Copies of this chain bind each other. A is one copy, B any other.
């Protein structure tokens, strides 16, 4: 440590700690892992929450198919091994974002318990808060909504291994939060999740 000439900065060479960044941002980083069927409302809730957080001065970021599948994970397909690696990489990146102090939301079906549990264990090991949010909208509702027309394609056989139709969705056994978009609007979900983040001390009131 020595005094710089040009500024009043104290010089350090080691890593900035998670606590220092948390003080700067006035929040603690965390991963909010949304899981649920296609059309369950994961992304709508995640983006509504992201807006509410940023609007109230908190740094939040959503990792979803748009920014992951065409970038980091564009060299992965849909084999069992690739799906597992897809979730693992997303988990590792979310952990880095949360370590940096960001309230990080991930919005992926992530149907397998084993994969989600691996991501949770990566966070526990690194002492990074992990919140599993099960958007448990019934498949009948998801299929009725079918915003991308995917259920239709799956039912007609055009799309194989579709979660909920001919591939399993393994519901979380111990999700921190369970929501059902049938009776909870994205706004109501956001209010509920903001309250949870406050209660956990991740954001201030």
Contact = CB atoms under 8 A, between A and B. Distances in A.
Given A186-B13, A187-B4, A20 B59 contact: no
8 contacts: A6-B191, A16-B47, A16-B51, A16-B62, A59-B100, A67-B99, A96-B97, A97-B100
Contact of A72 (B12, B50, B93, B194): B93
A57 interface: yes
Interface string A1-42: 010111101111111100011001100000000000000000
Q: Which of A13, A93, A186 has the most CB of B within 10 A?
A: A13
A93 to B, nearest CB: 6
5 pairs of A and B residues whose beta carbons are closest in the complex = A72-B92, A12-B51, A61-B100, A71-B92, A6-B191
A158 interface: no
Interface in A162-193: 186-187, 190-191
Given A11-B48, A47-B14, A48-B13, A24 B59 contact: yes
